[in-house]
Chains A and B, each alone.
Chain A
Amino acid sequence: MSEELSQRLTVYLRGKLAAPDLSVHDLSRIPGGASRETYRLRASFTKDGAAIERKLILRRDPPASLIETERSVEFRAYQAFHALGFPVPEPIALETESAALERPFFIMSEIEDAQAVSVLAPDPYGAHRESVGRAFWSILGRIAAADPKELGLADFDGAKAVEACWSHEVARWEKVIEEDELEPQPIARAALRWLKRHPPPPAQKIALVHGDYRSGNFLIDGQGRIRAILDWEMAHLGDPLEDLGWALDPLWAHHDVSRPGGMLPRADAIAVWEKASGLKADPKALLWWEIFASLKGCAIWISAAREYASGSNPDPVNAFSGWYCLAFHNMILADRLGSRA
């Protein structure tokens, strides 16, 4: 399989990079979530007489995906934010057709000497947690501050009016639950009703929402510098508080809920975000988006469980999500909403 994929990649990249002597080597699959197959590869070729080696990452659609997402969304987000100097990989090529590698894919540069932490690891940032935290919440604030029109992403899916952000997202994830639940979900259903009965205030602006901004979805180097924000496949237009609520979710807290994402204390994290974004994190609105985040988590894990149970994507990450993550978010929602009943 790897040999065939390597040959296909060679043919593709020779044309794409206008390098007829290009060869692909060291192709290997690496962990990268269940929504895309992720591979590391090296492409060697000569240009103007000079030997060049490019270290690349291939992200290819699996036979079935955890959440149906357009790979062009992630690629375009990389393009837009790379151009602005944000820490993201350089996007190289996007193919939405299946001819070249059997399934759609995109290729980007590899970020060397950096890695993502496991969301299960306790205290993964160690001595760097304060500096990583300031960078993490600041970058999120800068994403919130960016103008989708200036980014060239104003046509992304999502709400077009500030009043509609919350209802657009609730409808989106309610549909996922409707379509994918393997068994009735009384806590998720109660959360959906609560979210509809207690809508948040209109968004302060329509922002580009990353959609999965959290600990574990960025690369850091040995000095604790954030080198790349990853996994933009759920990017959409919406309320910037949506990303903040998701990043604050206890599932990503590395077993210390006082430090969201395992980094800064909560109040400091919010203060950094407010300063970088120029926006306010109104506590009542933020509470709504935090409860929404846990509901959205439930929907994703319900979808993962279906993928695994149906056999369409037997990646063990899907079984783990349907088992551990869903139970976790059910507990969070039951605690948060139960205490308000």
Chain B
Amino acid sequence: MKPEADQILNVSADQLMAAAMGGIDDAYGKGTAAIHALLMKFVAREYERGAEIRAAENRDMRAAFAELAPLVRDESLRTALEAAAARREDSLSISALNAANVEQRRLLISLHAHLEEVGAREGEQRIWKLLRTLAARRAVSLF
């Protein structure tokens, strides 16, 4: 089995960090190399989890749309929510998942603002629960 992309990135990041600490004289070069190494660590993790995060996020938003659409008084928004809720991923490429994610995030913002306007407290709480889940899933650990 060949090395996976995340392994290559992690090993390269460690080597870059070692070089930054030992072999680079100037402070700016050292600091910049260290940040590059840290970014490579982030990207290595994203290689493993990126598609899963996006697919789960899109799935969770669609579930919320299906659940909350009946509370929506605006007909065009309700129709858009029902249509989005019925959609499924047709590709697991990051770019395709991102495209769907952008559309759904836009819809989520409209839904949240609408529920606030009409005073649908339970709906608002449901959205905040979803937002906390999304934020936790996207959180980036330094360690």
Chain A interface residues (CB < 8 Å from chain B): 28-31, 120, 183-187, 189-190, 193, 197, 315-317, 319-320, 323-324, 327-328, 330-331, 333-335, 337-338, 341
CB neighbours (8 Å) of B106 from chain A are: 184
Q: Does B4 contact A (CB under 8 A)?
A: no
Out of A28, A187, A338, name the residue touching B27 (CB < 8 Å): A28
Out of A316, A327, A330, A335, name the residue touching B35 (CB < 8 Å): A316
> Contact string, B99-110, partner A, CB cutoff 8 A, digits 1/0?
001100110110
Interface contact A183-B101, CB-CB below 8 Å: yes
Q: Does B66 contact A (CB under 8 A)?
A: no
Q: Does B2 contact A (CB under 8 A)?
A: no
CB neighbours (8 Å) of A31 from chain B are: 27-28, 31-32
CB neighbours (8 Å) of B113 from chain A are: 189, 193
Shortest Cβ distance from residue B119 to the other chain A in the assembled complex, whole angstroms? 12
CB neighbours (8 Å) of A30 from chain B are: 26-28
Chain B interface residues (CB < 8 Å from chain A): 26-29, 31-32, 35-36, 38-39, 42, 98, 101-102, 105-106, 108-109, 112-113, 116, 121, 124-125, 127-129, 131-132, 134-136, 138-140, 142
Interface contact B39-A316, CB-CB below 8 Å: yes
CB neighbours (8 Å) of A338 from chain B are: 128-129, 131-132
Other 13 A-B pairs with CB < 8 A, given A320-B39, A338-B128, A341-B127 = A28-B27, A29-B26, A187-B131, A190-B109, A315-B32, A317-B35, A320-B35, A323-B42, A324-B140, A327-B140, A331-B139, A334-B128, A341-B128
CB-nearest residue of chain A to B131: A334
Chain B CB count within 10 A is highest, among A186, A327, A338, for A186
Chain B CB count within 10 A is highest, among A29, A328, A334, for A334
Interface contact A29-B139, CB-CB below 8 Å: no
Shortest Cβ distance from residue A190 to the other chain B in the assembled complex, whole angstroms? 6
Given contacts A317-B35, A323-B42, contact A28 B105 (CB under 8 A): no
